[in-house]
Chain A
Amino acid sequence: MPACQSIEFCLETDVINPVKRSYRALEAWFNLSFGPAWNPLYNLGTLAFFFFWVVLVSGLYLFIFFDTSIAGAYASVEYMTHEQWYMGGVMRSLHRYASDAAVVTILLHMLREFSLDRYRSFRWFSWFTGVPALWFVITLGITGYWLVWDELALYVAILSSQLMDTLPIVAGSMTRDFLVGHLTDRFFTLMAFLHLLGQPIILVVAIWIHVKRLSHVKISAPRGLAVGSLLALLVLSIIKPAESHGPADLSSVPLVLNLDWFYLNVYPLVDQWTAGQTWMLTLGVTFLLMILPWLPPKKRGPAAQVYLEACNGCGQCADDCPFDAIDILPRTDDARWSHEAVVDPDLCASCGICVGSCPSSNPFRQRNQDLVTGIDMPNYSANGMRTQTDAALATLIDKDTGIVVFGCDNAYEVSRLESEGIAAVSVFCTGMLPATLIEYALKKGADGVFVTGCRTGDCYFRYGNVWLDQRFEGHRKPRLRGGAERRRIRIFRGAETDGKKITQALAAFQKEIAELDDIPASNEVAADDARVSQDG
C-alpha cells in the first residue's frame, strides 16, 4: 500500500527510541569526520584489538626494566617514568592510556550492539560471551595497577583482599597477611605472573570464543584509524605522562587517590559498603547483562534450507555466510558434483544472504515454473522474490517512469517509499538480492532500480551490503552482468533516521531517469559504467 501520495511529501513520522536516535547521530557525525571506511563506530572490535596491540608492545618494553619484587617494583617504575621519560615513560603512558582507550571502545561496542538491538536472538552467543571478556579486561587492568606498588596499589591490594576474603574459596585472611607484613615476594610474583601471562592468555581465549560464531572477523583496524589513534595516544603520553602515587607504606593511609575510573571503579564501593554488598552489586549487574538477550527474547526466522537438485557445491554461500552457518561437505546424493552445502540451523541467522550468493537463484531460470535454487529461505524464497518483483513491475506498467526499490527493513522501512511510479520489494537483507534479479527487473520493464538498506559499513547482518557492492562491482560472484545498464541503478543507503534523505535521493533519481528517457535513443551517450553509490 503506498504510504504517501508523492515521494517529495513523504516525511518521517515514526518514533525512534532516543538511545538509537542518539547513537545514529553520533554515527553520522563520525561519518562526516572519518568517512564510512574509517568510522570508529564501525571498527570498535578492530580498534579494541589495536589498543591491545599497543598495550602488548609497550608492556613488553616495560617488562624489560620492571623489577618483579616488592622491594624493587616501585623504584623500577619510577626509573622508567623519570630517568627514562623519553622512552620508558612514554611506553608506560601508552600502556596505561591504550588500556583505558580499550575500555572506552569496548563500552561503545556494547552500547552499539545494545542500542541497535544486535544482542538478542542469534546474537545471544556473542553478547553472552562478551560479558566474561569484559571481566577479564577489567581484572587485567587491576593487577596492572597492583604491580606499581604505590599507595594506589596498596589501596587496591587491601580492598581486593577484602573482596577475596568474602569468597568462600580462600582459606585464611589475605587482608591480614597484607597488613602484618606476611605478604611475601611470592605473592607479588604471582600477581606479576597473572598480569604478564596468565590473564592475557585467558583474555585471548575469551575473545576467540566471543567471535567464534562469526566469519570474516576483521582483526586489523583500517590504517588511517590506527595511525590516528596511535598519534593521539603518543601526544597524550607526552603532554600528560602517567605517574605513580607515593610508595606503598603499610603504616599509612592515603588521603586522596587518583583512581582510574575505567578499571578501579568498584573500590570506593568496598569502602562505603561492605565487600559482600559490592560482590552482590557487581555479580548482580553481570548476571543481568548476561541474561539481557532474553529480556525479552527475540524470535529468529527459520533456517536456510539446501535444495540439492539445484546445488553444485560451488561453496559461494559458505564463503558469504556472515555467521559461519554453512559447511561444504561431500555429496550425499548420486549427483555428479563432489560436494554440497549443509546448513547448521543453530547458527543460521535467517539473513537470506546465501540466497543472493547462489548462482541458481537466477530468476531467468525456470521461467514457467517455480524457481528452485540451491539454498533458500523457507519463509521468503528466491521464487517469492521473483513473484514480488513481477507484482511490483505490474503496478508500474502504465507509468512514464517506473522505479523498483529493493531494500531491507532493518534500516528504513522500504514500503514507505512507495508512491507514484515507485514500487517497493522488501527483502531480509540487500545481500539476499541475486544480482540477476536487478537485471531481471530492468529487462522486464523497470526504468530504474533503486537499492537501499543499512548505512555503508553498518549492515544489520554484517556483510550483506558489502557483498552487494562487490557483486555489483564485479569483485564477487555471482556478479552483476553487463546486460544491466548501470546508470539505471542507484544505491543509496541510510539508517532508520534517514527517511528524509532517502526519500529525496529517490525523488532525484526518478527525475534523472525521466530525463534520460526523454532523450532520443540515438543521442544517448554510450552506456557509462557509473554505478552511483551514495550514503545518507
Chain B
Amino acid sequence: MGSKIFRLLLQAVNYSVFMALIWYFSLYPTYRHLDDNQAVLTLAFGHAAKRIAECATRSADELAELAPNMRMAIDCPRERSPLELEISLDDEPVTRLTIDAPGLYQDQGVDVYRDIITEAGRHHLSIWMNDDINIEGPTYRFDKTVNIEPMQRLVVSFDANSGGFSLQ
C-alpha cells in the first residue's frame, strides 16, 4: 500500500515535469520579430523586364547562313534584361538587388519579395529600378515621404500597366 502511494507520487512528479515542458516550449522562449520602434517595408511584386533586344529583320545574306528550317525573316530574342533595383530611405541605400530573369532561356518574369526592417517614423522613400539593359539609369523611379507607424507593414507594389510603383 505504502509503496503504491509512493509510486503514484513519483508518477505525479513525472507527469508534472512532462506537462511543464510541453506548456513552456509551446509558448516560450518568445520570439522577438521586431523591436518596439520598428516597422517593415515589404516589397512585393512581379514584373517581366524588357527583352534584351528588339526584333530585327534579317538580311538575305544572314538568312542564307541559317539552316533552311530556321530561316525566319524576323529575329526575336527571348531573353529578358536583368532587373536592377535600389531602395533608399532618407537618401541612404538600404537594399540593392540585381535579379536575372528566370527560366531556361531567361525569358520569364521576376517575382520580387523583400522585407526591409526599418525604424518607424517619417522617411523619404526612393526607389530606382531599371528593367532594360539597353538603357542607362532608371526606367522607373518612385519618390515619396512616408510616415510609418511602429509595427506597420507598408507594402510597396508595382504594376507597369498602371504606371509603376505604388503603396498599399
Contact = CB atoms under 8 A, between A and B. Distances in A.
B46 A173 contact: yes
Interface centre among A165, A179, A228, A262 (most CB of B within 10 A): A179
Interface of B: 7, 10-11, 13-16, 18-19, 21-23, 25-28, 30-36, 38-40, 42, 44-46, 111, 113, 150-155, 157, 168
B151 A175 contact: no
Contact of B15 (A165, A229, A242, A251): A229
Interface of A: prevailing SS: helix
A228 B30 contact: no
B18 A260 contact: no
Given A97-B26, A173-B44, A180-B157, A268 B113 contact: no
Contacts of B30: 256-259
B111 A165 contact: yes
Contacts of B10: 32-34
A33 B14 contact: yes
Given A30-B14, A176-B44, A179-B42, A252 B151 contact: yes
A97 B25 CA distance: 10
A423 to B, nearest CB: 36
A165 B113 contact: yes
A101 interface: yes
27 contacts: A32-B10, A34-B10, A40-B14, A104-B21, A173-B113, A179-B42, A179-B44, A180-B157, A228-B15, A229-B15, A232-B19, A233-B19, A236-B19, A242-B26, A251-B154, A251-B168, A253-B34, A253-B40, A253-B152, A253-B153, A254-B151, A255-B36, A256-B30, A256-B31, A257-B30, A259-B30, A262-B25
Contacts of B11: 33-34, 228
Interface of A: 30, 32-35, 40, 96-97, 100-101, 104, 155, 162, 165, 172-173, 175-176, 179-180, 228-229, 231-233, 235-236, 240, 242, 250-262, 268, 271
Given A176-B45, A180-B168, A253-B151, 6 more contacts: A173-B46, A176-B44, A176-B46, A180-B44, A180-B157, A262-B25
A175 B18 contact: no
A180 B155 contact: yes
B39 A253 contact: yes
